[in-house]
Amino acid sequence: MAGGESLEHHLLKLELAQAARAAGFHAEYEVSAPDGSWRADVMATSADGTRRVALEAQLSPITAEDVQVRTGRYESEGIAVCWFGVAPRPWIGSAPSLLLDSPQQAGAPWTVRAGIARMASAGSSHQHWVPVHGVSLTDAVSWMANDRMRPHQPVWLTPTVQDQDGRGWAREWTGPNLGKWQVWWTAPRYIEADLQQEREFREQVEYARLVAISPMDAYRERTGIEHLSALESLIRGQFSNNITRTPADFSMRFAPGYEDGMAFYGFSWTHSTGRTRELKPFIVVYPNLRGGQTWTHDVPVAFPASMIDQLPKIKELWLFDLAERRIWPAEPRKSAVSAAMESWNLTTTTDAQQQDADPSAEETTTPDQKPPAR
């Protein structure tokens, strides 16, 4: 052991080096920078020498500021780093770090108490951070060494790792000597999910600002449809063939109640309570469906044909192409004649199959059926 080094510190260094070697990395103790700006307890280096990870067993007192400064020195030379502690300290969570539980009996593994998180939805359209439990020190070092998890400073709204009830910080991540976690380890896909949620939130804030100023301009900005007159002309041309409507009956409105789509209203005659005219939407164009949201309104909806592969299943879906000045139903409607012919063909095919069946074939039953009584 190095001079002044505690037994627990020495044992943790041994565990870190062993975990690095199990991950396929070369591990050295007490590796220093040429200029002496840093010295790693354990330096893990990939077989090809392209990736280095400094593993710091930090059991003695240190400030969060010192940890952040020393982390910056490693990162400036392209070296990843993780600080390992075994007791709650204010510096834990201020830089890439893990809070460990040391073995309680001989032969038991070191485990991670806090510092690794993932994203979960829990029925919400937005994901939030939850702790990852049951990770051994060996696995944690392997994941960070092989870039399967990375340190991340969360950006999405309230950056907390929540407990099962979603009411606050997970219990293992809190304590009288722990500060607020600023950085934790997670998989690259969760980092991207966090950044994506933040981007979408900022876009929604900007969109709401535009809607407050000018709904039509906001619609143009979101959809990329610059000339609403071309859209209006296309819709009128397709849906003005109803003899109960005239061109003067149509109106086009930005419709917050229809997911910020452009709703086209038209008068039509109804005989439910006498012969009266009723104004109602007959199609909504390009509503703002977010995060897998589907169309729940009992009104046909239209989207650009280029979006067909991105859309959820919608009952009455229309597609349009403004450049070609075309709009058409995604599933062509069948005429009464074609529907009757299809039904007739199905019936005659079934009859023919029954007539061609081998009458001498033995009767069979499925495993959950009883044979007929004789």
Higher pLDDT, 174 or 113: 113
Three-class DSSP category at 360 = coil
Helical H runs in the chain? 7-22, 64-76, 137-145, 188-213, 215-223, 228-239, 336-356
d(CA 251, CA 279): 10
- DSSP states along 98-156: EEEE--SSTTPPPEEEESBEEEE-TTSSS-EEEEPPS-BHHHHHHHHHTTSSEEE---S
d(CA 334, CA 140): 59
Give the max Cα distance, the chain.
100
The residue among 253, 256, 288, 251 whose CA lies nearest residue 267 is 251
What is the crossing angle of helices 7-22 and 137-145, to 10°? 50
Residue type at position 248: A
Q: Please report the pLDDT score of residue 245 as a whole number.
A: 55
Residue 166 has pLDDT above 90, yes or no: no
Q: Please report the pLDDT score of residue 13 as a whole number.
A: 95
Residue type at position 168: G
Higher pLDDT, 46 or 88: 46
Average pLDDT over residues 292-318: 89
Higher pLDDT, 27 or 162: 27
d(CA 117, CA 119): 7
Three-class DSSP category at 365 = coil
Mean pLDDT of the chain: 83
pLDDT tens for residues 261-288?
Answer: 999 987 665 555 555 556 788 899 999 8
pLDDT-derived band of residue 239, with 50, 70 and 90 as boundaries? confident
Q: Sheet holding 39-45: strands in order across?
A: 26-32, 39-45, 52-57, 80-85, 97-101, 111-114
Q: Please report the pLDDT score of residue 312 as a whole number.
A: 86
Residue 108 has pLDDT above 90, yes or no: no
Q: Which residue has the tokens 């080094």?
A: 5
Burial profile 176-190: b = 16 or more Cβ within 10 angstroms, e = fewer: eebeebebbbbbeeb
Residue 57 has pLDDT above 70, yes or no: yes
pLDDT tens for residues 327-358?
Answer: 999 987 655 455 445 555 555 554 444 444 44
1-5, 37-41, 214-218, 237-241, range with the lowest pLDDT: 1-5
Q: Please report the pLDDT score of residue 237 as a whole number.
A: 85
Percent of the chain with pLDDT over 70: 79
Q: In this structure, are strands 128-131 and 150-152 parallel, antiparallel, or unpaired?
A: unpaired
Residue 58 has pLDDT above 90, yes or no: yes
* Cβ atoms of residues 20 and 42 within 8 Å: yes
pLDDT tens for residues 321-334?
Answer: 999 999 999 987 65
* Cβ atoms of residues 67 and 95 within 8 Å: yes
Q: Please report the pLDDT score of residue 332 as a whole number.
A: 73
What is the CA angle 235-240-243, rounded to 5?
160
